[in-house]
Chain A
Amino acid sequence: MGFARACSVALVGVEGVVVEVQADLEPGVAAFTLVGLPDKSLVESRDRVRAAVVNSGAEWPQKKLTVGLSPASVPKGGSGFDLAVACAVLGAAERIDPAAIADVVMIGELGLDGRVRPVRGVLPAVLAAAEAGYRHVVVPEQTAGEAALVPGVSVLGVRSLRQLIAVLGDEPVPEEPAAGRGRPDTMLAGLMVPGAGLGTGLAPLSADGAAHRPDLADVAGQDRARKALEVAAAGGHHLLLSGPPGAGKTMLAERLTAILPPLSRQESLEVTAVHSVAGILPPGEPLISRAPYCAPHHSATMQSLVGGGNGLPRPGAVSLAHRGVLFLDEAPEFSGRALDALRQPLESGHVVVARAAGVVRLPARFLMVLAANPCPCGRHTLAGAGCECPPSAVRRYQARLSGPLLDRVDLRVEVEPVGRADLMGSGGRGESSAEVATRVREARERAAVRLVGTPWTTNSEVPGHELRTRLVTAPGALMAAERDMERGVLTARGLDRVLRVAWTVADLRAADRPDASDIAVALELRTGILRGVPAQAGAR
């Protein structure tokens, strides 16, 4: 007769719930029962744990064994409980001291040979454990770096169950061959989320990856689009780039992350937690400190964008782009459902996904960049390009981006193909990302200082009534916008958007408040209609 308990963590979205794993041995016919809302993969844990224990040189208790996971009402899944189950069983069998494992949180999958395999979501799990007051965690060795990001927790990374038994029993720790580093980790590969834009920035960077980061200097010409990119980065405004194929829309969007400021510690943890749950955290780089970039293909389903899957939802592209850039190339080609599903995260900064097994709230505060061709063939606005799309087809194509979605886009820029003069002149190089990033950082600081004491940090988050009452523009600056409003070409909400952008433009110019020229730039960027603003106005 024996009883022991260990702890582990169940993931609900990107939040963890500490789960107590209790093992109870009774005399009787040898059996192994697992209770407490386990899903299929967790039930299989019984067989894995038994094999792993036996292959680690310990004896499997031949008694009636019951393992309970509590709280029993939280749905649990995945293989991360293996380690805790194994230790609880061994504790009940008195192979190890039950007191030594009672308050230790264990996360890890067991191979049949007793090896400990990495699982998704170690960071949020350890964060939850730390919050719940646990001080000791055991994780697979590969994810120890990730777990160590959490302050106030002592982390033990183990390679095998045998090692863990030795550590807990104060015995000499046996050496284990490290898992082949060069070999692709089949486990991680199997967990990757389809449509997450792997290979376009989310995939692990190679060691020299930093040297090949796309730089704004590669973009020749495109003054207006560059300006829009800068404003988007500085104020957190969503951006629509439209233009014919080959004009450089994708090239511009890829360079947006490079001019975004590096993530703060808190933001880094949030982003790393999401990526950890999605299982795409590059090994050897536990903390993500750069704004992520996620470019799902236009065949992406709504589930892959907002998060979904069987049982408990997994983070989708919007969450993988949290605190970074979500780039939707060929935006009109996305399904209407998928696009409209973006409206909630755009508005609230998180997405709530309901599934049979529960409701999950995932963070999704991203900077959206849409790219669109003007018509199905892409040549509609070009002079002399011979677009043959009938007007109705052009309208239909453009109408695929719904009004409510476009309404949330503050910046709309036509990207025109680069001419020979721009491409060949001045060496075909523009201002570098570093220079622009400096301006962006300074502008963000100005905004943050102005918004201190409010719940907002960037201009795009400030609600309209605050803009109009608390933050005052230069006298007479709004005349052009007010005239547009009188004529019905600008809505009240449109005016708020223009004001937000104007503040960002003023911040970039290091001005105290927007004047008429800033409003003109904002009107240009918001409506796409030229107002005769000199090319460099507001840029520096």
Chain B
Amino acid sequence: MNAPPDHSEQERLARAALTRVFEPGDERGGRWIREIGPVELMRRLSGTDGPARALKGMTAARLAGYRLRASSADPGRDLADLAGIGGRFVCPGDREWPSQLDDLGDARPIGLWVRGRPDLRLWALRSVALVGARACTPYGAHMAATLAAGLAERGWVVVSGAAFGVDGAAHRGALAAGGATMAVLACGVDVAYPRGHSELIGRIVEQGMVMGELPPSDHPTRSRFILRNRVIAALTRGTVVVEAEYRSGSLVTARNAQRLGRFTMGVPGPATSGLSAGVHELLRGEGVLVTDAAEIAELVGEIGELAPARSGPVLPRDSLDAASARVLDALPWTGGMDGRDVARSAGVSTDEALGRLYELHSLGFVEREGDGWRLTRGRTRDGVARRGGT
């Protein structure tokens, strides 16, 4: 937005402190930052004098809450802590800031705590979110891993939330393919949550990147997961939902993505599965059905990045014109047939039938047998065997 390109250290510190004061996605806080700047806002919130009350929408009760948090904020230590484990803090206006997050308006993150070497902005430009149920079925895990591996092979960054189930499978799939993956956490980036995924999160830090809005050592809460989803939706070009029930956080991500004008995609499952019911509902609405990585890439990728055309094999027989096909159909499965009989069975004149038969002969479909005609033996196996349309 209109923040100066070169951040003063003061503003960075103020923003780092404000991540501890405001919950993610606090639009009121976002508006104040926009209006008076983070440094001034932080100064007002940490002081005990009056000007904070002058902020639009501020009540005494709210102010008390903010002040309580502001008094315990120590951005210098937070930044140092994170730097100690190889992390950094990225603010709006930084060269590395992914500007698509600005689409969130006042709810855009105050700043992002990041671990991992790659450039956040570059990675986010070519990223797709893969989200889904935590308690997924083997099918969900398989699809997530396969799609993630396919996307990674095509040079896309797979973004997910490091949760159990689909999220974890997506990260693992991308890592297994040696590709790029990014985890957006709903807690401090130095906290491994869920605990069972601490090793996975460690690998993502090594091979990809982990980021979040919350300051170091903050813990996740129910609402923070939901608010985290808006970052996933805004950051990526599109969101793919692999498995989701009707009531699912993944659908929140998908709806966020829709609202922000990103692509929303769904991977279908069995109609009997409750775990795919939410996805199917999405697909009945705005969502686009995808079944593999090429289809996702076609949707979110550049012009010309097309998935290969999907159709059944084209058989030589399909290219015959209608009359020739009728003549060919008239020939019996085994044995020969007289030209006149062929004509009668195909319902064409004898001359026409003979003409077509010679044409079919030159194409190799039929051969002469004495006075009559019969199907070429080898062909019946592959070409004509599909007569029934099976």
* A493 on interface, CB distance cutoff 8 Å: no
Q: At the interface, yes or no: A375 with Cβ under 8 Å from chain B? A: yes
Tell yes or no: A99 within 8 A of B by CB: no
**A414 to B172 CA separation, bound complex (whole angstroms):** 24
- Does B361 make an interface contact (CB < 8 A)? no
A487 interfacial by beta-carbon distance below 8 Å? yes
Residue A444 interfacial (CB < 8 Å): no
Chain A residues with CB under 8 A of B273:
381-383
Closest to B194 in A: A392
Q: Is the CB of A527 within 8 A of B165?
A: no
A contact residues around B164 at 8 Å (CB): 391, 395
Contacts of A416 in B (CB 8 A): 272
Q: Which of A382, A395, A412 contacts B138 (CB 8 A)?
A: A412
Point out the residues of chain B lying under 8 angstroms from A530, CB to CB.
Answer: 139, 270
Q: In this assembly, does A27 line the interface, its C-beta being within 8 Å of a C-beta of chain B?
A: no
Q: CB-CB < 8 A to A179: which residues of B? A: none
User: A484 CA to B142 CA in the complex, in Å?
Assistant: 9
B18 interfacial by beta-carbon distance below 8 Å: no
Instruction: Please tell me if A385 contacts chain B, counting CB pairs below 8 Å.
Output: yes
- Whether A489 contacts B142 by the Cβ 8 Å rule is yes
Measured CA separation A529–B150 after assembly (Å):
18
From known contacts A381-B137, A412-B138, A529-B139, infer whether A487 and B274 are also in contact, taking CB-CB under 8 Å: no
The answer, among B173, B176, B274, for a CB contact under 8 Å with A381, is B274
A395 to B277, Cβ gap below 8 A?
no
**0/1 string, B169-194, CB within 8 A of A gives 1:** 00011011100000000000000000
Decide yes or no whether A250 CB sits under 8 A from chain B: no
Interface presence of B135 (CB below 8 A): yes
Q: List A contacts of B274 (CB < 8 A).
A: 379-385, 387
Task: Evaluate contact between A394 and B135: CB separation under 8 angstroms.
Answer: yes
Contact between A488 and B137, CB atoms less than 8 A apart? no
Complex interface: chain B residues within 8 A of A528 (CB): 137-139
A398 at the interface (CB under 8 A from B): yes
A-B pairs with beta carbons under 8 A, tally: 73
Interface residues of A in 409-424 (CB under 8 A from B): 412, 414, 416
Residues in chain A near residue B277, CB distance under 8 A: 383-384
The 0/1 profile, CB within 8 Å of A marked 1, for residues 135-164 of chain B is 101110010011001100000000000001
A60 CA to B175 CA, complexed, in Å = 84
Cβ-defined contact, A391 with B135, below 8 A? yes
Contact of B271 with A by CB under 8 A:
yes
Within 8 A of A (CB), among B266-316: 270-277
Q: Of the candidates A382, A395, A414, which one forms a contact with B134 in the assembled complex, judged by CB atoms under 8 Å apart? A: A395
Contact check, B173 vs A488: say whether CB atoms are below 8 A apart: yes
Given known contacts A385-B274, A488-B173, A398 and B138 CB-to-CB distance under 8 angstroms: no
Q: Is the CB of B134 within 8 A of A391?
A: yes
Using Cβ atoms and an 8 Å threshold, which residues of chain A touch B175?
488
**Count, chain B residues at interface, CB 8 A:** 26
Alpha-carbon distance A484/B173, docked complex (angstroms): 11
Q: Could you say which residues of chain B place their CB within 8 Å of the CB of A392? A: 134-135
CA distance A380 to B149 in the complex (A): 28
Q: Can you name the residue of chain A whose Cβ is closest to the Cβ of B270?
A: A530
Give the contacts of B119-136 with A (CB-CB under 8 A). Answer: 133-135
Q: Which residues of chain B have C-beta atoms less than 8 A from A489's C-beta? A: 142, 145-146, 149, 173, 176
In angstroms, Cα B176 to Cα A319, docked, is 41
The answer to whether B138 touches A487 (Cβ under 8 A) is no
Give the chain B neighbours of A412 by CB distance below 8 A. Answer: 138
A487–B146 CB distance below 8 A: yes
Q: Determine if A395 and B139 form an interchain contact, defined as CB atoms under 8 angstroms apart.
A: no
Shortest CB-to-CB span from A491 to chain B, Å, is 11
The complex places the Cα of A394 from the Cα of B172 at a distance, in Å, of 21
With A489-B146, A529-B142 already in contact, the answer to whether A391 and B133 are too (CB < 8 A) is: yes
Alpha-carbon distance A488/B134, docked complex (angstroms): 20
In the assembled complex, how far is the CB of residue A322 from the closest CB belonging to chain B, in whole angstroms?
31
Residue of B nearest to A489 (CB): B145
A486 to B152: give the CA distance in the assembly, Å. Answer: 13
Nearest opposing residue in chain A for B142, CB measure:
A529
Residues of the A chain whose Cβ atoms lie less than 8 Å from the Cβ of B172:
488
- List chain A residues, Cβ under 8 A from B165: 391, 395
Q: Which of A375, A379, A484 has the most CB of B within 10 A?
A: A484
A384 to B271, CA, bound (A): 11
- A382 to B177, Cβ gap below 8 A? no
Query: Which residues from A are CB-within-8-Å of B142?
Result: 489, 527, 529
For A346-380 the 0/1 string (1 means CB < 8 A from B) is: 00000000000000000000000000000100011
Per-residue A-contact encoding for B372-389, CB less than 8 Å = 1, 0 else: 000000000000000000
Q: How far is the CA of A527 from the CA of B142 in the complex (A)?
A: 9
Bitwise, A464-492 to B at CB < 8 A (1) or not (0) is: 00000000000000000000101111000
Give the contacting residue for A488; candidates B139, B177, B271; CB below 8 A: B177
With both chains docked as a complex, state the minimum distance between the C-beta of B310 and any C-beta of chain A, in angstroms. Answer: 14
Residue in A closest to B178 when the chains form the complex, CB atoms: A488
Interface residues of A in 208-257 (CB under 8 A from B): none
Query: A395 to B136, alpha carbons, bound, how many Å?
Result: 9
Interface centre among B149, B172, B173, B276 (most CB of A within 10 A): B149
**A529-B177 in contact (CB<8A):** no
What's the Cα separation between A487 and B275 when bound, in Å?
24
- Residues of chain A contacted by B137 (CB below 8 angstroms): 381, 414, 528
Closest to B176 in A: A488
Q: Is the CB of A527 within 8 A of B138?
A: yes
Residues from 511 to 528 in A contacting B, C-beta threshold 8 Å: 527-528
Residues of A within 8 A of B275 (CB): 380-381
Q: In the complex, what residues of B have CB within 8 A of residue A395's CB?
A: 134-135, 164-165
In the complex formed, the residue of B with least CB distance to A417 is B272
The closest CB in chain B to the CB of A392 belongs to B134
A426 to B265: give the CA distance in the assembly, Å.
40
CA–CA, A379 and B135, complex, Å = 13
A414–B276 alpha-carbon span in the complex (Å): 15
Closest Cβ neighbor of A385 among chain B residues? B274
B153 nearest in chain A by CB position: A487
Of all A-B residue pairs in the complex, the 5 with the closest CB atoms, nearest first, are A488-B176, A394-B135, A391-B134, A487-B149, A391-B135
- Using A381-B137, A488-B176, A488-B177 as known contacts, list a sample of 4 further A-B pairs with CB atoms less than 8 Å apart, ordered by residue number in A: A392-B134, A489-B173, A527-B142, A528-B137
Give A residues with C-beta under 8 Å from B.
Answer: 375, 379-385, 387, 389, 391-392, 394-395, 398, 412, 414, 416, 484, 486-489, 527-530
Interface residues of B (CB under 8 A from A): 133-135, 137-139, 142, 145-146, 149-150, 164-165, 172-173, 175-177, 270-277
What are 28 A-B contacts with C-beta separation under 8 Å?
A: A380-B135, A381-B273, A381-B274, A382-B272, A382-B274, A383-B274, A383-B276, A383-B277, A384-B274, A385-B274, A387-B274, A392-B134, A392-B135, A394-B134, A395-B164, A416-B272, A486-B177, A487-B150, A488-B145, A488-B172, A489-B142, A489-B149, A489-B173, A527-B142, A528-B139, A529-B139, A529-B142, A530-B270
